[in-house]
Chain A
Amino acid sequence: MIRALQNSRPYILSLISIFMAFHIGWGKETRSCNLSHEGIMKPFCDLCGCATNSGSFGFGTLSNSNFIGLRYVHQSFESRDGIFSDSPSSNEYLNTYQLWAQIPILQNIYATASLPYQDLKRKFENRSIEEALNGIGDASVMGWYKWQFYKKEDTVAVPYPVTRPLSKHSIQFGVGAKLPTGEFEERLTDRVNPGFQVGTGSFDGIFSLGYNYGGDKIGFNALLTYYLKGANKNDYRFGNQFSYVGTSFYRIPFNKFSLMPFLGISGDIYNEIEQFGERLADTDGRILNGTIGAECTLNRVILGANLAVPVAQDLFGDNVQAQERLSFYVNFSL
């Protein structure tokens, strides 16, 4: 049975991908999604939803190991609160506490999942009032297939190795979904920014392709992710999103632990938002970040810190400026 399943593994995976792609594509045509919340979301809100969930931030650890852990992410934005160049601005502070995990399922199949708790604050330049909101955000679940390359056959070596040695290269494919689990508060729809919510209210498809190189000393990870976004109850569809991340790290072994400083880039490209089948002007955007950080492995505990600094950005007609994003995590290897 196990062998049968292993043989059919690629088929099952392709079936899932095709099914999901078809399903979401079909959902796009009928343009309605029932699982969502009420109220409209400003483009900004998709940033809250995705900044902490995004492919540009990675789904796991540097060494791509299995784990369960806790991640804290702090990010702030400055957005213009009006239509004029000198309109007052507001600052949004997003604190996310996230339960995240990478869980092995079969030898080459694993799942990643995250469930965020969002704690959002918004301060207005010209007013003393402050908006605050917290609650469970949008969860995401992904299934991954890891294609581990083997070393080339060495004809001189022993002719009957029990298992072929693994190479340092691997490729992963992931398919998953972001679920509208974020709670919605009715009262906020009457406020200045009704989009100040912990969730986007939409069901989104996530498709990823990753490459890993893990040498003894240095390693490199690359990940491309595409988000196919569904519409929420208000027929509001955030623009599809393409995220990329590239990270290289260096392993410094110590007696009891190892330290891996890393350096990389990450970015997101957003399409325009659609509502009721019409595109909304100035709702597309792009951002490129430089990332720096380190991971420390001590027995089964992985501690990590990651700082992303915007290098270039043009978000939503330049009405929103993303600032540094800082995250810390504690993971326990499985």
Chain B
Amino acid sequence: MKFSYFFIAMLLCSALISCSNDDEPTGSLEGQTGTLVVKFDNGVGDQDFIFGTTYTKSGGESYELETLKYIVSNIELTATDGTTFIYPEAKNVFIIDEADGNNAGEIWLTLDDVPAADYTKISFGIGIDQERYSKGAEGQGDFLQQAQDEEMLWSWATGFRFVRLDGVYSDATLTDEALNVHMGSVGTSLDNYREVGLDLPNSVLVRETANPQIHIKADIAKVFDGQTSVKFSEGFSQVHTDEATTPVIADNMMGMFTVHHVHNN
């Protein structure tokens, strides 16, 4: 008897104390900022990218890379209500270097002081836009030195290398020929800066107390087999400042990014 009462009482109590309505009142995000991690994860198709691995592409060609880096800038987030947040310009330029990858091969960008909001879209540029370039060498801040150290700058007059893929390629007749794809804008005469906008599969909730992440998958195969399929043996094994080949690579790179998932925690 007493047992049964005790048992029923226990069930009721456990149900009662279980849940409560503690939803944040709307508007409480005002003035709140948080950190957002954007992870870049390079792959080739559904394979992880690994230095020294041979990957096949169209036209019976294959390649193997020892350097893989590219510049990402002008990260912009769009919130549920349509408002946008652009990361402060001086800090809004990054080199994604596969060699900097962690154990899982991910390169993390940490954005600080992001206004708390529910973001549904991320946009960024590949390379350096003309406005940033027009600020001159002094206007680049620390990034100029960083780009020089990472060999992502030809010379100030020519400008930045937006991507740097170094390695070798092979086809039916050639073996381990040099492969150097260094695409960029050329001064102000050739603009290869491109922008990418990606919808997020789930909203990313930036909060003072949260550590959300956007996990971006970058498919390196798309650099060569994107909008246009290029052949190394037909002028694309050495891509530098040429006004015919560089825009093709730039356009292809626009299609290499997808958001794999977001983490809200």
Query: A residues touching B (Cβ–Cβ < 8 Å)?
Result: 1-2, 5, 12, 16, 19-20, 23-24, 26-27, 30-35, 39-40, 81-88, 103, 105-106, 109, 111, 126-127, 141, 143, 175-177, 179, 189, 192, 194, 203, 230, 234, 275-276, 278-281
Any chain A CB within 8 A of the CB of B245? no
A109:B4 contact, CB within 8 angstroms: yes
- B202 near A280 with CB under 8 A, answer yes
Q: Is A5 touching B4 in the complex (CB atoms < 8 A)?
A: yes
Chain B's interface: helix, strand, loop or mixed, by majority?
Answer: mixed
A234 touches B265 (CB 8 A): yes
Asked if residues B7 and A143 are in contact (CB atoms below 8 Å), the reply is: yes
Interface size on B, residues (CB 8 A): 38
Report the separation of the CA atoms of residues A82 and B215 in the bound assembly, to the nearest whole angstrom.
10
Check if B59 is an interface residue, CB within 8 A of chain A: no
Residues in chain B within 8 A of chain A (CB atoms) = 1, 3-4, 7-8, 10-12, 14-23, 41, 43, 46-48, 103-105, 118, 201-203, 205, 215, 217, 260-261, 263-265
**A39-B265 in contact (CB<8A):** yes
How distant is the Cα of A106 from the Cα of B3 in the complex, in angstroms? 9
Residue contact B47 to A105, C-beta cutoff 8 Å? no
> Is the beta-carbon distance between B265 and A83 smaller than 8 angstroms?
no
Q: Do A32 and B18 have beta carbons less than 8 Å apart?
A: no
Min distance, Cβ A114 to any Cβ of chain B, angstroms? 14
- Interchain CA distance A275-B10 in the complex, whole Å: 29
A246 to B65, CA, bound (A): 55
- Partner of B47 from the list A27, A86, A189 (CB cut-off 8 Å) is A86
Question: Could you say which residues of chain A place their CB within 8 Å of the CB of B217?
Answer: 83
Cβ–Cβ contact B3 & A33, under 8 A: no
Q: B22 contacts A143, CB within 8 Å?
A: no
Alpha-carbon gap, A66 to B212, bound state (A):
48
User: Contact: A23 with B15, CB < 8 Å?
Assistant: yes
Nearest CB of chain B from residue A115's CB, rounded to whole Å: 14
How far is it, in angstroms, between the C-alpha of A34 and the C-alpha of B263 when the chains are bound? 21
Instruction: State whether A203 touches B18 (Cβ < 8 A).
Output: yes
Which of chain A's residues have a CB closer than 8 A to the CB of B47?
A: 84-86
A275 with B202: in contact, given A23-B19, A83-B41, A230-B18 (CB under 8 Å)?
A: yes
